[in-house]
Amino acid sequence: MGKVKAWLEQNDLAELWTKAQLPLRVIGGLIVFALVAKVYSGVLNTIDSLPLAPGLLELAGLIWLMNFALRNLIRSSDRDKFITATRSTWSRITGRSS
């Protein structure tokens, strides 16, 4: 006990805490990521085990893709707006022009 007390008196706890925050955050983030991945995997496996669900979800995705293409990619003016918006979003994310 005496060695622990001497070590604690010798070191500043606030300084130790600031040094340990980043590794603790990384470890906590990895634990949260592992839990979310496990739950997500369980949900996907449950959906996959239902007889009609994968096919219906694929059909819903194809319908959404066709709707998106019809609204944004058929006309030249809509296509130009979409490309401009995509480039603007990309430059906001990366911080540079493409």
**Per-residue pLDDT reduced to its tens digit, 3-37:** 888 777 777 777 777 777 888 899 999 999 999 99
5 is written with which tokens?
């007390």
Domain boundary (49, 68, 86) is at 49
Span 45-69, pLDDT tens digits: 999 999 999 999 999 999 999 999 9
Q: Are residues 58 and 76 in the same domain?
A: yes
Quote the domain boundaries for residue 86.
52-98
What sign has the CA pseudo-torsion 30, 32, 35, 41?
negative
pTM: 0.53
8 is written with which tokens?
């604690």
Q: Are residues 98 and 62 in the same domain?
A: yes
